Structure 1
Amino acid sequence: MTPDPIEDTPIPAPRRPLGARLGRVRGRAGLTAAGAALLLLVGAGNGLLLAWQSTVQHRITHTLSVDRILMQVLADLLDSETGQRGYLLTGDPAFLVPYTAGQARIAAELPLLETELGRSPDQAARLAALRPAITRKFAELDRTLALDRAGDRDGALALVRAGEGKTEMDQIRRIIETMRGQEDDLLMGYQQHAHRIESMVGIGSIVSIGIMALLAVLALREAGRRAALSRFLPAELTPLLERGGSLDQGGGLRLGERRHAAIAFVDMRGSTAIAERADPETVAILVTGFRRCVAQAARENAGVIDKFMGDGALVVFGVPEARADAAAQALAFASRLEALVAEWNAGTGEAPVRIGIGVHCGEVFVGVVGDDDRLEFTVLGDAVNVAARIEQATKTFGATTLVSQAALDAARVTGAEWREVSRQALRGRQEAFPIYGRAA
Structure 2
Amino acid sequence: MGVAVFIVLLLGASFWVSKKGQEADEAVAHTVHNERLISIVQSQLQDAEIGQRGYLLTGDPFYLEPYDKAVSAISASVESLATGVSDNRRQDGNVAVLRSLTTQKLSELRQTIEHRRAGDEGAAIAMLRNGQGKVLMDGVRDVLERMRREEESLMTLRANQARRAGFVLEMMVIGLAMLTALMGVIAVRATLRRARSAEASRDELLQHLDRKLLAIMAADIVGYSRMMEGDEAQTLARLKDVRDRIDPIIANHSGSIVTTAGDSVLVAFASALSAIDCAVEIQGTMAADNADLPEEQHLMFRIGINVGDVIVQDGDIFGDTVNVAARLEPMADPGGICISRAVRDHIRKQRHLVFDDLGFLKVKNIAHPVSAFRVRFDPAA
TM-score computed with the length of structure 2 as normaliser: 0.40
Larger radius of gyration: 2
Could you state the TM-score of these two structures normalised by the residue count of structure 1?
A: 0.35
